[in-house]
Chain A
Amino acid sequence: MSAAFLALAAILLLTVAGAFVRVLRGPSPADRMMGAQLVGTGGVAVTLLLAAATGETAAVDVALVLALLAAFATVAFVKSASMDGLGDPEEEEAEIGERSEAAGP
Chain B
Amino acid sequence: MSALDLFSVVAVTIGVGFFVAGTVGLLRFPDLHTRLHALTKADNLGLGFVALGVMPQLGGVLPALKVLAVWALALLAAGTAAQLVARAALPRRRPRGER
Taking Cβ atoms with an 8 Å cutoff, the residues of A that contact B are: 1, 4-5, 8, 11-12, 15-16, 18-19, 21-22, 28, 30-31, 33-35, 37-38, 41-42, 44-45, 48-49, 51-52, 55, 57, 60-61, 63-64, 67-68, 70-71, 74-75, 77-78, 81-82, 86-88, 92, 95-96, 99-100
**Is the CB–CB distance between A38 and B22 below 8 Å?**
yes
The residues of B that contact A96 with a CB separation of less than 8 Å are 95-96
Name the residue of chain B whose CB is nearest to the CB of A10.
B16
A12 to B15, CA, bound (A): 10
Contact residues of B: prevailing secondary structure: helix
Asked if A15 meets B67 with Cβ closer than 8 Å, knowing A1-B1, A41-B47, A67-B74, the reply is no
Query: Interface residues of B toward A: which range?
Result: 35 or more
**Is the CB–CB distance between A74 and B84 below 8 Å?**
yes
Pick from B16, B22, B60, B89: contact of A30, CB under 8 Å: B89
Name the residue of chain A whose CB is nearest to the CB of B89.
A30
Contact residues of A: prevailing secondary structure: helix
Min CB distance A39 to B, Å, is 10
A4 to B9, CA, bound (A): 7
**Is the CB–CB distance between A37 and B32 below 8 Å?**
no
Name the residue of chain B whose CB is nearest to the CB of A45.
B50
A21 to B9, CA, bound (A): 28
The residues of A that contact B89 with a CB separation of less than 8 Å are 28, 30, 87
